Structure 1
Amino acid sequence: MKNLEEFKACLSSDELPENLSLHLQSLWYDGKGDWKAAHDLIDQLGDKRSAHLHAYLHRKEGDIWNADYWYSRAGEKRPAITLDKEWEQLVSAFLR
């Protein structure tokens, strides 16, 4: 998968595409509306990139206190953008 448009197109499939990183698998499940599966994939990861994805998921859940904790662990601040835009930014970052 090379870009955001290809990733978005794969959301129409019911099957998880092969060869996706764990982060992109999480974003795929989130894009399909399965927050729990997305969260379960990254919940135990402690690196900064995973923490950012974890923060986004808690922000989406509406748990802002928890989201802010994870943004802090990622060395980030909660962005003042839509959840859709943040999802797109995360997908693009993990595709690189």
Structure 2
Amino acid sequence: MTVDQLRASLSQSAPPPGLAPLLEALWWEAKGNWHRAHEIAQAIDSRDAARVHAYLHRREGDAGNAAYWYRRAGLPPSHKPLDEEWREIAATLLRSESGPRS
């Protein structure tokens, strides 16, 4: 799956079958269900989950909480447009789903 295919799937009422949980979190956030996305990200303990969690709090407008989660992800806070950050995170997660990162 590509980022564009993931975005196109937003016209559906449910995420694509077999979508990894963090990609599902991004999917739900893009559909406007921030709380469902947050529940998914909060339940996972990994750097990728911390990155998604940071993005979600940034989207929410809570810069302080977002900064905490960026630190947990080992990243500086993002200042990119939110949609650009969403696409970047989705691309990273999709690459990790399809095999090891080089």
TM range (shorter): over 0.9
Q: CA deviation at 1:89?
A: 0.4
Q: CA deviation at 1:15?
A: 1.8
Partner of 1:71: 70
- 1: distance between equivalents of 2:79 and 2:61? 15
Partner of 1:37: 36
SS at match of 1:29: helix
**Root-mean-square deviation over aligned CA pairs:** 0.8
Partner of 1:61: 60
TM-score, length basis structure 2: 0.90
Q: Percent identity?
A: 39
- Structure 1's consecutive aligned runs of 4 or more residues displaced over 6 angstroms after TM superposition are none
| Matched length | 95
| Structure 2, unpaired ranges of 5+ | 96-102
- 1: distance between equivalents of 2:88 and 2:78? 11
Partner of 1:14: 13
Partner of 1:82: 81
